[in-house]
Chain A
Amino acid sequence: MTEAYIYDAARTPRGKGRPDGSLHEVTSLTLSARLLNAMKQRNNLEGHAVEDVIWGNVTQVKEQGGCLARSAVLASDLDESIPGLSINRFCASGMEAVNLAANQIKGGAGQAYIAGGVEMMGRVAMGSDGAAIAVDPSIAFKTYFVPQGISADIIATEYGFTREEADALAVESQRRAAAAWADNRFAKSIVPVLDQNGLTILDRDEYMRPGTTTEDLAKLKASFKDMGEVMPGFDKVAMLKYPHLDHINHIHHAGNSSGIVDGAGAVLIGNEEFGKAYGLKPRARIRATAKIGTDPTIMLTGPVPVTEKILADSGMSISDIDLFEVNEAFASVVLRFMQAFQVDPALVNVNGGSIALGHPLGATGAIIIGTLLDELERQDKNVGLATLCIASGMGAATIIERV
Chain B
Amino acid sequence: MTDFTMKKDADGVAIITWDVPGKSMNVLSEDGIRELDALVDDALADDAVKGIVITSGKPDFAAGMDLNVLGGMKEKGGAEAIFGLVMQLHGVLRKIERAGMDPKTLKGGKPIAAALPGTALGIGLELPLSTHRIFAADNPKAKIGLPEIMVGIFPGAGGTTRLVRKLGAMGAAPLLLEGKLNDPKKAKAAGIIDEVVDDPVAAARDWVLNAKDADIVKPWDAKGYKMPGGEPYSAAGFMTFVGASAMVHGKTLGVYPAAKALLSAVYEGAMVPFDQALKIEARWFTNVLMNPSSGAMIRSLFINKEALEKGANRPDVPDQTVKKVGILGAGMMGAGIAYVSAMAGIQVVLIDAKQESAEKGKAYSAGLLDKAISRKKATEEKKSEVLGRITATTDYAALEGCDLIVEAVFEDPGVKAEVTKKAEAVIPADAIFATNTSTLPISDLAKASSRPEQFIGIHFFSPVDKMLLVEIIKGKQTGTRAVAKALDFVRQIKKTPIVVNDARFFYANRCIIPYINEGIRMVGEGVNPTLIENAAKMMGMPLGPLQLVDETSIDLGVKIAKATRSAMGDAYPDGAVDAVIFKLFEEGRLGRKSNAGFYDYDEAGKRQGFWNGLEQNWPEANEQPELTEVQHRLMFAQTLEAVRALEEGVLEDIREGDVGAILGWGFAPWSGGPFSWLDMLGAARAVEICDKLTATHGERFKTPALLREMAEKGQTFYGRFGQQKQAA
- Provide the main secondary structure of the chain B interface: helix
A237 to B253 alpha-carbon distance, docked (Å): 8
Q: A130-B238, A240-B254 are in contact. Are A137 and B264 (CB under 8 A)?
A: yes
Q: Is the CB of A135 within 8 A of B242?
A: yes
CB distance from B704 to the nearest CB of A (A): 29
Q: A141-B254, A231-B243, A240-B538 are in contact. Are A246 and B609 (CB under 8 A)?
A: yes
Q: A232-B242, A232-B243 are in contact. Are A237 and B528 (CB under 8 A)?
A: no
Residues on A with C-beta less than 8 A from B264 are 136-138
Is A321 in the interface zone, CB < 8 Å from B? no
Is A233 in the interface zone, CB < 8 Å from B? yes
> What is the number of residues of chain B that contact chain A, defined by CB distance less than 8 Å?
33
Q: Is the CB of B534 within 8 A of A244?
A: yes
Q: Is the CB of B609 within 8 A of A232?
A: no
Q: Is the CB of A243 within 8 A of B609?
A: no
Q: Is the CB of A136 within 8 A of B238?
A: no
> Which of B158-166, B188-196, B244-252 makes up part of the contact surface?
B244-252
Q: Which parts of A111-165 form the interface with B (CB within 8 Å)?
A: 127-128, 130, 134-138, 140-141, 144-147
A138 to B264 alpha-carbon distance, docked (Å): 6
CB distance from B168 to the nearest CB of A (A): 15
Is B612 in the interface zone, CB < 8 Å from A? no
Partner of B534, one of A140, A237, A243: A243
Residues on A with C-beta less than 8 A from B268 are 136
A243 to B527 alpha-carbon distance, docked (Å): 12
A231 to B535 alpha-carbon distance, docked (Å): 24
A58 to B232 alpha-carbon distance, docked (Å): 20
Residues on A with C-beta less than 8 A from B538 are 240, 243
Is A218 in the interface zone, CB < 8 Å from B? no
Is B210 in the interface zone, CB < 8 Å from A? no
Is B362 in the interface zone, CB < 8 Å from A? no
> What is the number of residues of chain A that contact chain B, defined by CB distance less than 8 Å?
28
Is B677 in the interface zone, CB < 8 Å from A? no
Residues on A with C-beta less than 8 A from B263 are 137
Residues on B with C-beta less than 8 A from A234 are 246, 250
Which residue of chain B has its CB nearest to the CB of A150? Answer: B246
Residues on A with C-beta less than 8 A from B372 are none
Is A280 in the interface zone, CB < 8 Å from B? no
A-B CB contacts (within 8 Å), total count: 87
Residues on A with C-beta less than 8 A from B495 are none
Is A245 in the interface zone, CB < 8 Å from B? yes
Which residue of chain A has its CB nearest to the CB of B527? Answer: A244
Residues on A with C-beta less than 8 A from B233 are 130, 135
Is A190 in the interface zone, CB < 8 Å from B? no
Residues on A with C-beta less than 8 A from B244 are 137, 232
Which residue of chain A has its CB nearest to the CB of B609? Answer: A246
Interface string of B226-267 (1 = CB under 8 A from A): 000000110100100111111111110110000010011001
Q: A136-B267, A141-B254 are in contact. Are A246 and B249 (CB under 8 A)?
A: no
Which residue of chain B has its CB nearest to the CB of A239? Answer: B534
Q: Which parts of B528-565 form the interface with A (CB within 8 Å)?
A: 528-531, 534-535, 538
Which residue of chain B has its CB nearest to the CB of A236? Answer: B250
Residues on A with C-beta less than 8 A from B267 are 135-137
Is B2 in the interface zone, CB < 8 Å from A? no
Q: A243-B538, A244-B534 are in contact. Are A137 and B260 (CB under 8 A)?
A: yes
Residues on A with C-beta less than 8 A from B594 are none
Is B624 in the interface zone, CB < 8 Å from A? yes
Q: Is the CB of A237 within 8 A of B250?
A: yes
CB distance from A73 to the nearest CB of B (A): 30
Partner of A243, one of B241, B242, B245, B627: B627
A140 to B264 alpha-carbon distance, docked (Å): 10
Q: Is the CB of B531 within 8 A of A244?
A: yes
A110 to B99 alpha-carbon distance, docked (Å): 65
A134 to B254 alpha-carbon distance, docked (Å): 16
Q: Is the CB of B530 within 8 A of A245?
A: yes
Which residue of chain B has its CB nearest to the CB of A234? Answer: B246
Interface string of A234-265 (1 = CB under 8 A from B): 11110110011111000000000000000000
Interface string of A220-238 (1 = CB under 8 A from B): 0000000000011111110
Is B364 in the interface zone, CB < 8 Å from A? no
Interface string of B170-211 (1 = CB under 8 A from A): 000000000000000000000000000000000000000000
Residues on B with C-beta less than 8 A from A232 are 242-244, 246-247, 250
Is B610 in the interface zone, CB < 8 Å from A? yes
Residues on A with C-beta less than 8 A from B531 are 243-244
A-B contact pairs, 26 of them (CB 8 A): A130-B238, A134-B241, A135-B232, A135-B241, A135-B242, A136-B245, A136-B268, A137-B244, A137-B248, A140-B242, A140-B249, A146-B246, A147-B242, A231-B243, A232-B243, A232-B250, A233-B247, A234-B250, A237-B249, A240-B254, A243-B530, A243-B534, A243-B627, A244-B624, A245-B530, A246-B530
Q: Which 7 A-B pairs have the closest CB atoms?
A: A236-B250, A232-B243, A243-B534, A135-B241, A246-B530, A140-B245, A137-B263
- Name B residues whose Cβ lies closer than 8 Å to a Cβ of A: 232-233, 235, 238, 241-251, 253-254, 260, 263-264, 267-268, 528-531, 534-535, 538, 609-610, 624, 627
